[in-house]
Structure formats: structure tokens, C-alpha cells
Chain A
């Protein structure tokens, strides 16, 4: 299967407990995996001060998902992000224009 490389940044409510943050992150990890995605890396930046208020909050917990997926994968991820009100901001984009075959990625990860 041909996959593309994507990156999704989510900004979480800073008032969430550590366990809740983990829960959100693993939830999206599951969603990516379930829709033909392969996770490359999850970056956790921690709580940062926002440049302006978002949903009346001055701070946010930043996390970045690096993954390979199909267009349907990202669609499903974004749909779930919009439903989840613990996420105050998000941004997804392609990081590479090239399509990679899924068999090649498995080799790279191993």
C-alpha cells in the first residue's frame, strides 16, 4: 500500500492530568494504527505558553505525531480531533510529497 508521511500537532488543555494526557495520546495512536497508519514518532513538548489565548487558555500541552498514512487516515484523525474537546488547537500537514510503499517502512522501523 502506498503511504504518505504526515505530521499532526495537537494542543491539549493544560489542566489535564498526566494520565489523561497519556490517554488522549494513546487514543490517537490507536486511531492512526486502525486506519492503515504507521506511527514513526510521537514528540511531547510539554506545557508551553501560548502567544495568544485559545479557548480562554494561556497555556497548552503540545504533542506532535509523526506518521505514515493514507488520505483516509488523516481524515479520520482530524474528524476525531474535532470531536474531542480536550484538544484546543491542531494542525496536520504532509511532510513529504513522495509516496512510500508500506513494505519499505516496516524495514526502516526494524
Chain B
């Protein structure tokens, strides 16, 4: 019985969706640091599409925005070596 439950849970996958397609008011811009922060890991890496569920178009816009924000020191390149 317990094993049955375990396997059931294993196959349950939450459907991923592109947050930018779902909410058109959510703008992708290097200025929108709070939104961009949700798509980087705590080490500063960009979260891949296969994890975040973003569509290709929005992921492309997102990476460009993150890279622009990084250059302007609005987002970190890495958090290693920071005090």
C-alpha cells in the first residue's frame, strides 16, 4: 500500500507554463529587476527553460534582459566571493 502511494506521487508532475504568456502585463526588461530575480538561481545563474517552463520566445527575451542587467550591476554575475 505504501509503495503504491509512493509510485503515485512520483508520477504526479505539475504542469509548467510560461509566466510571461499567462500574464501579458509582466514586462521583460532589464529595469524590472524583481521579475528577473525570480529566474536566476541564488548563485546568479539563469534558470533553464526546461525548469522554469518559459516558452522559447520569452526565454530569449529574458536572457537578454538578465545579461543587460548584469552588465549594469543590477544583478550579480555570481555570488561566490561576495562579502
Residue positions of A touching B, CB distance < 8 A? 9, 11, 48, 50-52, 54, 60, 62, 89, 91, 93
Contact = CB atoms under 8 A, between A and B. Distances in A.
12 contacts: A11-B72, A50-B73, A51-B70, A51-B75, A52-B76, A52-B77, A54-B73, A60-B73, A62-B72, A89-B71, A89-B72, A93-B68
A60 to B, nearest CB: 7
Task: Give the size category of B's interface with A.
Answer: 10 to 19
Interface of chain B, helix or strand or loop or mixed? loop
A17 B44 CA distance: 33
A60 B70 CA distance: 14
Interface of B: 68, 70-77, 82
